Every structure is written in C-alpha cells, then in structure tokens.
Amino acid sequence: MGIKIREFWTDNRYGYGIDDEINDFVKEKHNVELIDIEIIDIKYQTIAHEKDGKCIIRTSALIMYKEKQAFQRW
C-alpha cells in the first residue's frame, strides 16, 4: 500500500494532548479496522496566539504512515 498522510490538531483549551489524538487513531485502526500502522514520520508544530486576552497554544501533527493488514482474529 502507498504512503498516507493524516493531520491532527488540538489546543490548550481541550485538555486532550496531540499524543492522545495520534494514539487513539492508531488504536482505532488496529482494533476496529484490523489494520496495523507503520509510522514513517511525524512532524509537529506549535503556534501560540492571543484570543480574548488569553494565550491559546495550538499544536498540530502531520503523520506519514503505511497501512498493512493486521493478523487474523478468531
């Protein structure tokens, strides 16, 4: 299979980290879709900006991965 790309993002208002988003994606692929993920690369970016007098920190990640069929379950 070819290389696929997926973008994730979160910010400090949600209380759910970017690593949690990525881990949930990998687990869902493995447990629900029966597909294993081979992660090729992950690029992170963090941007801080002000909104309504508060500092918001937005973190995004771009992962490049390959899918392969997971083992057969009985």
pLDDT on residue 11:
87
pLDDT on residue 74:
54
pLDDT on residue 70:
62
Average pLDDT per 10 consecutive residues for the chain, totaling 74 residues? 91 85 91 88 94 91 88 58
Phi and psi at 2, nearest 5°, equal: -80, 175
Query: Distance between CA 3 and CA 67 in Å, rounded?
Result: 8
pLDDT on residue 1:
66
pLDDT on residue 15:
77
Specify the pTM.
Answer: 0.74
